Amino acid sequence: MTEIGIIAVGGYNEMGRNMTAIRVDEDIIILDMGLRLDRVQIHEDVEIDKMHSLELINMGAIPDDTIMKDVNGNVRAIVCTHGHLDHIGAIPKLAHRYSAPIISTPYTTALIKHQIDSERKFGVKNNLISMKAGETYEITKDVSVEFINTQHSIIDTVFAVIHTPKGAIMYACDFKLDRTPTLGEAPDFNRLKSLGEEGVIALITESTNSGRSGKAPSEQIAHDLVKDVLLGTEESDVGMIITTFASHISRLNSIISFAKEMGRIPILLGRSMDRYMSTAKELGYVDLPGNVEIYGQRREVEKALEKVMRGGKNKYLPIVTGHQGEPGSILIRIANGDLPYIIEPGDKIVFSANVIPNPLTRANRYALETKLRMKGARIYDNVHVSGHAYREDHWELLRMVKPEHVIPAHGTIEMHAAYIEMAEDAGYVLGDTLHLLRNGEELYIEE
C-alpha cells in the first residue's frame, strides 16, 4: 500500500508564499516556493535579497518550510508551475536546503535563474530542469511529473501532474480556462479529460476567484478593451501612456500591436519590463516588430523620455511599470516629475491592470492617481481581465478531472470557503473527499 501525504506548507492561510509538498511514501515533490510581497511591504527599508530565510519566515513572507523536517521522506524535486513571484520568489531563500532539481517550463526556468542570480544572501545551486507543456519527467522510478498546458496571466503556465503507482495528483495553481488566448494555446482539454478517465487521486487547486460567479473572461476581452481605449478616441493626438504587469507578455504583445495601428512607436520602460519581455523575446515566445524599444536602465529611460518629449508625445506609446503605484516605478516617477515626461491636461493614462486588493497597493495607487489627475491626466482604469479561474471554470475542471479528493489552495480561508461550497454542489463532502488544509498540516491519503 502506498501512502500519500499532501503537506500544506504555505499559501493555504493567505495569498502569496505558495508551497505544497506531496509525499509518495518517502519521496517528496515540492510544488512552488513563493513570496508574499505585502508582508514585506508593511516594513520600511527592507531589502529582501540580503535577508535570511528565518527572518522572512517570521515575517510571514515566505513559506515556513521548517515543518518539512517532521515529514518522513526526502525531497526529490521542486516543481514550479509558472514564473510569478508568489510561486518562485522564495526559491533563492529555501531551495538550497534541498538536494533536488527545480523543474519548470522554459520561461519559468529563465525567471528562476534571474531570481537566483539576484540573491545576495544564499547561493542556490540546485539543478534547473526545463520542460515543456506536454512532456513528462521521471523523478524516481515510481514517480514522474507531467506538465499540461494551461493559460494564466503569464506565458508558459502549466498544470503539474504527479504520477504515482496509485494514480495521479494534479496541481492546478494558477490557471484560467481560456479558449481564445491571445498568445499560446488553449488549455489541453483532451489531456485533462483523459487524465480524468485514468483516475486522479487528488486535485490541489487555487481557490482565488472561486467566489466570483460565472467564468473568467478570456484574455481576448482584455485585448479588445485595451484596443478600444487606445484607438477608439476622437482625441488621438494627446500624450498616452499605458501600464500593465511586466510579466503579462500576452497583454504586452497586444499593446505593442496596437501601437502599430496607432502609428506610434512602442517603448517599454522599466527594469522589470525589460527583464520579462527581453527574456520572452530571447526564448522565442514573442515576435516583436522592429520598431519596439525596450529600456530598463535608469539613464536609458531618461534618454528615451527626452526623445519622446522632443519628437512629440503623440508619436510614441510608452508602456511602463507602475500600475500599482509602486515606489520607484516609471509611472510614479513621471507623476512625481522625476522623469523628463511632462503630463499635460488631456493626456491619457491607461491602467491595464486591476488594483491589487490590499491597503498598501490601494494607497500607492491613490497617491499615483491623485498626482496624475492634478496634472490633468485622464485615467482609464481596470482595462483588464483576471488571469484566475472563476467559479464555473472550477466547476468544469472538477468535472473533467474527477478527482477522488479536492484540496483548495492558494488563498485565504474565505476563498477556500467559496470553493468548498462549489465543490459540495459537485458532490464532494468536506472532511471526506474535500479538505480544508491550513499551513503546516499534512493530509494523509491511503490508496
Stretch that binds a second copy, among 17-25, 115-123, 295-303, 433-441 (CB under 8 A): 433-441
Residues annotated within the binding site are 82, 84, 86-87, 152, 174, 384-388, 410
Residue 305 sits in the site that holds a second copy (CB under 8 A): no
Residue 220 sits in the site that holds a second copy (CB under 8 A): yes
Nearer to a second copy, 118 or 370 (CB): 370
Residues in 55-94 at the binding interface with a second copy, rule: CB under 8 A: 60
Nearer to a second copy, 231 or 311 (CB): 231
Stretch that binds a second copy, among 66-74, 145-153, 156-164, 409-417 (CB under 8 A): 409-417
Residue 359 sits in the site that holds a second copy (CB under 8 A): yes
Residue 375 sits in the site that holds a second copy (CB under 8 A): no
Residues in 197-216 at the binding interface with a second copy, rule: CB under 8 A: 213-215
Residue 239 and residue 268 in contact, taking contact as beta carbons nearer than 8 Å: no
Per CB under 8 A, the list member of 260, 417, 433, 447 interacting with a second copy is: 417
CB of 390 to a second copy, least distance (A): 9
Residues 382, 384: Cα–Cα separation, whole Å: 5
Residue 46 sits in the site that holds a second copy (CB under 8 A): no
Residue 374 sits in the site that holds a second copy (CB under 8 A): yes
Residue 160 and residue 396 in contact, taking contact as beta carbons nearer than 8 Å: no
Angle at 207 between CA 202 and CA 212, to 5 degrees: 135
Binding mask 14-43 toward a second copy (x if CB under 8 A, else -) reads: -------------------------x--xx
Nearer to a second copy, 312 or 376 (CB): 376
Residue 434 and residue 411 in contact, taking contact as beta carbons nearer than 8 Å: no
CB of 77 to a second copy, least distance (A): 27
Residues annotated within the binding site for substrate are 384-388
Name every residue whose Cβ is closer than 8 Å to that of residue 101 and which is 6 or more positions away in sequence. 77, 78, 126, 127, 128, 129
**How remote is the C-alpha of 21 from its chain's centroid?**
19
Residue 356 sits in the site that holds a second copy (CB under 8 A): no
Residue 383 sits in the site that holds a second copy (CB under 8 A): yes
Residues in 307-346 at the binding interface with a second copy, rule: CB under 8 A: 327, 336, 345
CB of 413 to a second copy, least distance (A): 4
Angle at 166 between CA 161 and CA 169, to 5 degrees: 25
Residue 169 and residue 198 in contact, taking contact as beta carbons nearer than 8 Å: no
Residues 117, 208: Cα–Cα separation, whole Å: 30
Count the residues of the shown chain that bind a second copy, applying the rule CB under 8 A: 67
Q: Where are the alpha helices (DSSP H) in 49-90?
A: 53-58, 85-88
Residues in 256-295 at the binding interface with a second copy, rule: CB under 8 A: none
24 phi/psi in degrees, rounded to 5: -110, 100
Angle at 40 between CA 38 and CA 45, to 5 degrees: 130
Strand partners, 170: 161, 203
Name every residue whose Cβ is closer than 8 Å to that of residue 283 and which is 6 or more positions away in sequence. 106, 107, 110
Stretch that binds a second copy, among 99-107, 257-265, 305-313, 428-436 (CB under 8 A): 428-436
Residues annotated within the binding site for Zn(2+) are 82, 84, 86-87, 152, 174, 410
Residue 381 sits in the site that holds a second copy (CB under 8 A): yes
Torsion of Cα atoms, 317 then 223 then 147 then 162, to 10°: 110
**How remote is the C-alpha of 55 from its chain's centroid?**
24
Residue 446 sits in the site that holds a second copy (CB under 8 A): no
What is residue 290's three-state secondary structure?
coil
414 phi/psi in degrees, rounded to 5: -65, -40
Per CB under 8 A, the list member of 199, 413, 433, 447 interacting with a second copy is: 413
CB of 399 to a second copy, least distance (A): 7
CB of 276 to a second copy, least distance (A): 25
Instruction: Give, as one character, the DSSP assignment of residue 151.
Output: B
Name every residue whose Cβ is closer than 8 Å to that of residue 128 and which is 6 or more positions away in sequence. 101, 102, 104, 109, 112, 113
- Positions touching a second copy (CB under 8 A) are 39, 42-44, 60, 177, 179-180, 189, 193, 213-215, 217-218, 220-221, 224-225, 228-229, 232-235, 327, 336, 345, 358-360, 362-367, 370-371, 374, 376, 378-383, 392, 395-396, 399-400, 413-414, 416-417, 420-421, 424-425, 429-431, 436-438, 441
